[in-house]
Amino acid sequence: MRQPAALALLRPHQWIKNLFVAAPLFFTPSELTAESVVRVLLGMVCFCVLASAVYILNDYADREADRRHPEKCMRPLAAGTVSVSTAFALMAVLFVGGTTVAFLLSPTFALLALVYFGLNLGYSFGLKHFAIVDVMIIAFGFILRVEGGARLIEVAPSAWIVIATGLLALFLAIAKRRDDLVRSLGQDHRRSLDGYNKPFLDTALAVILGALLVAYMVYTTDVAVMERLGTPKLFYTAPFVVAGILRYLQITLVEERSGSPTKIVLTDRFLIVTVLGWALVFGALIYG
């Protein structure tokens, strides 16, 4: 069923990214209380509405280029199914509502949320045109989500989890850029593509995946982490991480359809099984 135009403008399928706000709570069993769960859920909502405000702004900035894209031409502002004035009014409501709730939760969390919004504002109006800078900004947005979630429950996330989060997001962003090149979208759609080619992106994927696996392995075998979580068996979750990475790499290099990471994660059965398997095993180890 087709979404109403105003709802499509918010890109609700992208909200899954904000599960990273809950990562610090998941990795800190000692802080799992009803109050912390409510705070983290509200924090996720804040990032969802602020992200949707950013999507509206980005769609406005890209509306002309999107009209030349085979799929993005159906976006509400590019297709003209939502007026610019309506979109801006909705964006204002989302921004005010999101920042208000964020400040009520925690001024520090609100500051991180505003940094996220400001960074994406810069991305939408210029920074996305610079190769490497564009994917680094995307990765930093995920790190801000994790840091924000940590501030809500007043814990310091493991440095290795922050590093792994950034590397994972960077991998997904580079895989998306590779898909843009494979589909020959060209510089008229995304000017940063002029700074990429397949050999560079394939090499970058290999380097980042190597670093990601090392970061995760170090995290699962770090003495301080094992003591804090109460188990020396976190490395049992590594096969799920390796399998998930290899599957996404297969989608990127073999099937060449890595243009929408969120849709892939939500629809690919292999990835769904590996993610659920990882969560169940990790959860059993630290909560069992």
Calculate the CA 120 to chain-centre distance. Answer: 12
DSSP letter for 1, please: -
Number of residues assigned to the chain: 288
Are the C-beta atoms of 245 and 209 separated by less than 8 Å? yes
Domain membership of residue 197 (yes or no) is yes
Percentage above 70 pLDDT, the chain:
97
Radius of gyration of the chain from Cα atoms? 19
The predicted pLDDT at position 189 comes to: 58
Instruction: For the beta carbon of residue 50, count every other beta carbon within 10 angstroms.
Output: 23
pLDDT confidence of 77, banded at 50, 70, 90? confident
Domain membership of residue 105 (yes or no) is no
Domain count, the chain: 1
Cα dist. 276→152, 265, 280, 285, 286 in Å? 25, 11, 6, 14, 15
Calculate the CA 154 to chain-centre distance. Answer: 22
For the segment 198-237, what is each residue's pLDDT rounded down to a tens digit?
999 999 999 999 999 999 999 999 999 999 999 999 999 9
Domain membership of residue 248 (yes or no) is yes
For every residue of 228-239, DSSP letters joined together read HHT-S-GGGGHH
Percentage above 90 pLDDT, the chain:
67
The predicted pLDDT at position 2 comes to: 58
Domain membership of residue 20 (yes or no) is no
Q: Which residue type is seen at 190? A: R
The predicted pLDDT at position 188 comes to: 55
DSSP letter for 125, please: T
For the segment 233-273, what is each residue's pLDDT rounded down to a tens digit?
999 999 999 999 999 999 999 998 888 888 899 999 999 99
The predicted pLDDT at position 132 comes to: 93
Determine phi and psi for 88, rounding to 5 degrees.
-70, -35
The predicted pLDDT at position 83 comes to: 87
pLDDT confidence of 185, banded at 50, 70, 90? low
Domain membership of residue 101 (yes or no) is no
Report whether pLDDT(84) > 90.
Answer: no
Q: Measure the CA–CA gap between 268 and 271, rounded to whole angstroms.
A: 5
Calculate the CA 192 to chain-centre distance. Answer: 20
Domain membership of residue 187 (yes or no) is yes
Q: Measure the CA–CA gap between 234 and 121, rounded to whole angstroms.
A: 38
Determine the structural domain holding residue 179 and report its residue range.
Answer: 158-288
Q: What is the mean pLDDT of the chain?
A: 90
The lowest-confidence range among 18-22, 92-96, 143-147, 253-257 is: 253-257
Q: Measure the CA–CA gap between 29 and 286, rounded to whole angstroms.
A: 7
Average pLDDT over residues 32-59: 94
Higher model confidence: residue 3 or residue 85?
85
Instruction: For the beta carbon of residue 150, count every other beta carbon within 10 angstroms.
Output: 26
Q: Measure the CA–CA gap between 214 and 104, rounded to whole angstroms.
A: 38
Locate tokens 């990214």: which residue? 17
Domain membership of residue 120 (yes or no) is no
The predicted pLDDT at position 3 comes to: 67
The predicted pLDDT at position 186 comes to: 55
Q: For residue 50, how many C-alpha atoms fall within 13 Å in the half-sphere facing its CB?
A: 30
SS3 category, 78: helix
Domain membership of residue 285 (yes or no) is yes
